Structure 1
Amino acid sequence: MPYKSLLILLFSFIVSGCSSRLPTEDEQQSNLVVYRDKMTEVEYISDATGMQWVSPALEISQYSKLLIESVGLHQSATAVRQIPEPVLKRVSQRLTNVLKTELGQGVELVDRSGVDTATLKIMISRASTDMEDLQINEVLPYGVLIGGAKALLGTRDRNVRILVESQLVDSRTDEILAERVGVILAKGILENDKVELEYEQIRDTVDRFTQDIVHFIRLTAYQATLNETEQG
């Protein structure tokens, strides 16, 4: 194969290896959220980008309590060889517990629907791995060959991506109030394309991701307040 053609081939590995917190086109074929076509990119804090939508009709003053359902696990997320289902179940449990602790500090949490209660639904809907981004020293000519060869052999470190969909609804009517899609991204956490993910490898990343959902609730309340003010 000519050297130029080889570089083009390996460059495709560089592109395919780039990971971000934004959902990919495949990941946007979601299992929970409804208004994904109306979502806009929102970044609460550094490297916490996701897609979000808030109903323009939401009147936040109608809700003073929050019902948090246990984080669900869609079957689409459990078919990845390197990400065992027991690990995803622990991620689900951890998200549920930490969110109740975090959000319980600012709003009354309840265990049943009511006239002034919103329900937070969350689902882990997809899981995947992709190649770690090539480092700058690997983008130079000899490095490209080395990095590309590692990719072909399956020995390059791999990122873990877990898609999390969040939906805030009226607890009685199920009217959708707001939605968010974000990615738990653990970069370079798997040594190759054979080893399996262990829960402790991702626990800190999961804990940081809970702040995405906490900010989602707070920003939703803020945006709804602005809407109410604008509507008079």
Structure 2
Amino acid sequence: MNIKLLSIISFSLVLLGCSSRLPTEDERQTQFIKNNDKLVEVEYIEDATGLQWVSPTVEASEYNKILINDVGIHQNAKAVRQIPERVLDKVSERLTTIVKQELTRGVEVVNKAGADTATLNIMISRASTDFEDLQITEVLPYGALIGSAKALLGTRDRNVRILVESQLIDSQTEEVLAERVGVILAKGILENDDVDLEYEQIKETVELFTQDIVHFIRVTAYQATLNEKEQS
């Protein structure tokens, strides 16, 4: 096997399996999460994996209301090639709407801070694209050559990754109660490295992702109940 072909196959193997719902090391350089070094992997349901931390001192009886701020978009997520800002605006809008609707069913949602109120902050902190995972036939010598050539020519399908950080804090003291980092991952959604993303292409993925945030709040409430029992 010549050196050129070997280098192309090596390049292909680097690409294999690069996309995951878990944040990458790069993505973990988060924008407002305070306990990044304490985050642990948590999977609520299949393929809904993220990194999460819940304060060991938060107690359930201290909070019975929640204030949900509109989902923000960090400057680092804007002006990303192939991901227009208008699409991120729509993602923000839908996340805000659906999370409020879902949480209203289990807790009183309010519009101002209070002694018994927790605040939920959500931010889209990063957006990016990467190559679609290689198929098994593409890691064989001939397939690797084809797959890598497609990547180099910009014709391989690309994944979209949108990093979302969720933070639950005390609405008055701003003490951090719990945090989660997850990725909205739409695989192979872009046909090449020239086309722009349209919201309709990721609509279903975004709406499914809202369950990550809803489960995050429910798990935090459950952990807070356990904390309270341990304290008593």
Same fold (TM > 0.5)? yes
Match in the other structure for 2:217: 217
- Displacement of 1:14 in angstroms is 3.4
Q: How big is each residue's C-alpha offset from its partner over 1:6-63, in whole Å with a ceiling of 9 and x where there is no partner?
A: 3344333332352001111111111111100011000001011110000111012110
Deviation sequence 1:113-152 (CA, Å, 0-9, x none): 0111100000000000000000112122211111010011
- Displacement of 1:154: 0.6
Partner residue of 1:3?
2
Quote the Cα distance in structure 2 between the aligned partners of 1:109 and 1:141: 57
2:183 is matched with 183
1:223 CA drift (Å): 1.3
What is the CA deviation profile of residues 156-180 of structure 1, one whole-angstrom value per residue up to 9, with x for unaligned ones?
0000000000000001111100000
CA distance in 2, matches of 1:7, 1:186: 30
Which runs of 4 or more aligned residues in structure 1 lie more than 4 Å from their structure 2 counterparts after TM superposition? none
Where structure 1 has 5 or more consecutive residues not aligned to the other structure, the ranges are none
| TM-score (normalizing by structure 1) | 0.96
1:77 aligns with 2:77: yes
Residue equivalent to 2:114: 114
Report the equivalent of 2:104: 104
Q: Say how many residue pairs are matched.
A: 231
- SS state of the match for residue 100, structure 1? helix
Contact 1:14 1:133 in 2 (8 A): no
Aligned partner of 2:206: which letter?
A: V
Q: Check whether the contact 2:15–2:134 (CA below 8 A) recurs between aligned residues.
A: no
Percentage of matched positions with identical amino acids:
70
TM-score normalised per structure 2: 0.96
Q: 1:35 matched to which residue of 2? A: 35
Q: Check whether the contact 1:82–1:195 (CA below 8 A) recurs between aligned residues.
A: yes
Q: Which residue of 2 aligns with 1:126?
A: 126
Q: Which residue of 2 aligns with 1:143?
A: 143
Matches of 2:15 and 2:119 in 1, distance apart? 37
Q: Does the Cα contact within 8 Å between 2:8 and 2:144 map onto a contact in 1?
A: no
| 1:96 counterpart SS class | helix
Q: Give unpaired runs (5+ residues) of structure 2.
A: none
CA distance, structure 2, for counterparts of residue 12 and residue 45 of structure 1: 33
Residues 222/39 of structure 1: CA separation in 2 closer, same or farther (3 Å cut): same
Q: Which residue does 2:13 correspond to in 1?
A: 14
CA distance in structure 1 between the partners assigned to 2:131 and 2:180 by the alignment? 25
In structure 1, distance between residues paired with 2:205 and 2:141: 34
Distance of 1:50 and 1:12 partners within structure 2:
28
Conservation of the 8 A alpha-carbon contact between 1:99 and 1:214: yes
How big is each residue's C-alpha offset from its partner over 1:67-115, in whole Å with a ceiling of 9 and x where there is no partner?
1000000010012110000000000000000001111111110000011
Q: Distance in 2 between matches of 1:45 and 1:12?
A: 33
When structure 1 is superposed on structure 2, of 62-71 and 4-13 the one drifting more is 4-13
